[in-house]
């Protein structure tokens, strides 16, 4: 049984917690895209962690954590992250890395930094983790797969020199920086070979056998629907598909094996980085929500940047669930909203005098103004509540209004950052 866990919005929805929780009853957790450019915050019995490349189910002894072929593999970060967990008392995790995963090279990070510097005020708000240059090289067929590290060294060295011949033209003449030394890059790749050697396997075969054996597999996505390069707020998006459909490709399994898509939706909106954000709020109102939000304030797990804040956007969230193929929704950080007298919900976008409930492409999105409805708040703490019927009536009304807007069953409601601070509910939409 394969289940995907993905985000409906701009990322930051709380997918890490949901994956960590569901991993308790799973065998294998697979990261299928993205790289170290985003983080999943986990709070469990070992402490608080911000994972950047390891799957969020890495804390259990019985699970195997897999880095799929769709991931931008920063080998140094992977090893550092494993070592950091062990130093904090987490048992040595079982980790596998696809031999078809591609390696994030040191110069990818340089190119990311150089390009943001060159663009100045028109930059993309990159995390400068090398992700866009990495995926550019992957699809330009000038990247390096993990299996190439174990090929003939002369072949590997020749490719390094060939690739850097063109890279250095840009480095010297576009960015006006010192050229990259191919010998240094080659030596770094030889170090990577030894670092990654214990983890490498044919992940597609491993997962094929696991599926045949009836194992429970979670596919963990990074970011959310609105950061997808095809269906997101292009061009202010990430460089790999954030959709559950890509989970099959990024893990190396047939698409029909994904039986359930848990789409994580935040009870309010937040985003890191530039791009269109129709329900965004500002000033003291945003500061207060940011201060109270998340598990210790709304700040990026990777960058530490203050997140942009907004009210719940039903238009964007419904679209995000549709593009993910959501079969169920986990609604997160609901407990944060208990201080509010009223809860605005964006139920439509006004564009050129007309109101739409459908999420448009970026040129129209730039002109969109939010259309709000308002629900009464519940004005009380809901952490510690374990049964849905024990939630305040106005809190249940808020959940059920959102569910009606999403048109997908809300089966889980997170009312705290801890692993088991979650309420399971039976939705009237469940078939």
Q: Which of 33-37, 99-103, 204-208, 243-247 has the lowest mean pLDDT?
A: 33-37
Task: Give the pLDDT of residue 382.
Answer: 96
Question: What is the DSSP annotation of 367-386?
Answer: T-EEEEEEEE---S--TT--
Nearest to 227 by CA among 273, 261, 265, 269: 273
Residue 122: pLDDT above 90? no
The larger pLDDT score, comparing residue 260 to residue 112, is at 260
Confidence of residue 198 (pLDDT cuts 50, 70, 90): very high
- What span, in angstroms and rounded, lies between the C-alpha atoms of 322 and 422? 24
Question: What is the DSSP annotation of 45-103?
Answer: TTEEEEESSS-TTTT-TT-EEEE-TTBEE-HHHHHHHHHHHHHTT----EEEEETTPEE
Confidence of residue 41 (pLDDT cuts 50, 70, 90): confident
Task: Give the pLDDT of residue 256.
Answer: 97
Residue 382, phi then psi, degrees to nearest 5 = -115, 0
The larger pLDDT score, comparing residue 361 to residue 299, is at 361
Task: Give the pLDDT of residue 303.
Answer: 65
Residues 6+ apart with CB under 8 A from 4: 218, 219, 221, 244, 247, 258, 260, 261, 262, 324
DSSP summary character for residue 225: G
Range 44-68 average pLDDT: 90
Confidence of residue 85 (pLDDT cuts 50, 70, 90): very high
Confidence of residue 147 (pLDDT cuts 50, 70, 90): very high
Q: Judge contact between 369 and 405, C-beta under 8 A.
A: no
Q: Rounded to the nearest 5 degrees, what angle is found at the Cα of 386, between the Cα atoms of 384 and 391?
A: 85
Task: Give the pLDDT of residue 411.
Answer: 97
Q: Rounded to the nearest 5 degrees, what angle is found at the Cα of 263, between the Cα atoms of 136 and 235?
A: 30
Task: Give the pLDDT of residue 73.
Answer: 97
Residues annotated as catalytic are: 12, 40
Range 371-393 average pLDDT: 96
Range 185-204 average pLDDT: 98
Task: Give the pLDDT of residue 69.
Answer: 98
Confidence of residue 123 (pLDDT cuts 50, 70, 90): low
Residue 326: pLDDT above 90? yes
In a 3-state reduction of DSSP, which class is residue 284? helix
CA 376 vs CA 10, 286, 345: distances in Å? 26, 19, 11
- What span, in angstroms and rounded, lies between the C-alpha atoms of 133 and 136? 5
The mean pLDDT of the chain is 93
Range 72-78 average pLDDT: 96
Q: Judge contact between 88 and 192, C-beta under 8 A.
A: no
The larger pLDDT score, comparing residue 128 to residue 416, is at 416
Q: How many CB atoms lie within 10 A of CB 118?
A: 12
Confidence of residue 116 (pLDDT cuts 50, 70, 90): confident
The larger pLDDT score, comparing residue 119 to residue 33, is at 33
Range 387-397 average pLDDT: 97
DSSP summary character for residue 133: H
> What's the whole-model pTM score?
0.92
Q: Rounded to the nearest 5 degrees, what angle is found at the Cα of 203, between the Cα atoms of 201 and 204?
A: 135
């Amino acid at each position: 049984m394969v289940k995907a866990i993905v985000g409906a919005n701009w990322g930051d929805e709380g997918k890490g917690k949901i994956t960590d929780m569901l991993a308790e009853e799973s065998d294998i957790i697979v990261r299928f895209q993205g790289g170290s450019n985003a983080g999943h915050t986990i709070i469990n019995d070992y402490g608080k962690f911000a994972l950047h490349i390891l799957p969020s189910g890495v804390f259990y002894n019985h699970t195997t954590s897999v880095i799929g072929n769709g991931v931008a593999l920063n080998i140094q970060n992977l090893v550092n992250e494993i070592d950091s967990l062990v130093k904090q008392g987490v048992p040595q995790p079982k980790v596998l890395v696809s031999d078809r995963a591609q390696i994030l090279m040191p110069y990818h990070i340089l190119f990311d930094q150089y390009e943001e510097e060159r663009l100045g005020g028109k930059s993309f708000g990159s995390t400068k983790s090398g992700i866009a240059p990495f995926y550019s090289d992957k699809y330009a067929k000038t990247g390096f797969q993990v299996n190439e590290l174990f090929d003939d060294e002369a072949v590997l060295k020749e490719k390094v020199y060939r690739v850097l011949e063109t890279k250095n033209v840009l480095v010297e003449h576009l960015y006006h920086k010192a050229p990259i030394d191919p010998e240094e890059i080659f030596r770094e790749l030889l170090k990577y070979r030894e670092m990654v050697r214990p983890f490498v396997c044919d992940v597609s075969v491993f997962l094929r056998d696991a599926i045949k054996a009836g194992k429970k597999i979670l596919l963990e996505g990074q970011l959310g629907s609105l950061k997808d390069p095809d269906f997101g707020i292009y061009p202010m998006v990430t460089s790999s598909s954030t959709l559950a459909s890509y989970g099959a490709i990024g893990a190396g399994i047939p698409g029909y094996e994904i039986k359930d898509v848990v789409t994580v939706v935040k009870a309010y909106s937040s985003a890191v980085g530039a791009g269109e954000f129709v329900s965004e709020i500002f000033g003291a109102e945003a500061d207060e929500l940011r201060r109270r939000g998340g598990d210790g304030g709304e700040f990026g797990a990777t960058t530490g940047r203050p997140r942009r804040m907004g009210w719940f956007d039903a238009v964007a969230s419904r679209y995000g669930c549709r593009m993910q193929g959501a079969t169920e929704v986990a609604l997160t950080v609901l407990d944060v909203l208990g201080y509010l007298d009223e809860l605005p919900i964006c139920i439509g976008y006004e564009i050129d005098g007309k109101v739409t409930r459908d999420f448009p492409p970026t040129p129209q999105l730039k002109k969109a103004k939010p259309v709000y409805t308002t629900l009464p708040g519940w004005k009380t703490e809901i952490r510690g509540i374990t049964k849905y019927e024990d939630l305040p009536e106005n809190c249940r009304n808020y959940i059920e209004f959102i569910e009606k807007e999403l048109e997908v069953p809300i089966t889980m409601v997170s009312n705290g950052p801890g692993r088991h601070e979650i309420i399971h509910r039976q939705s009237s939409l469940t078939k």
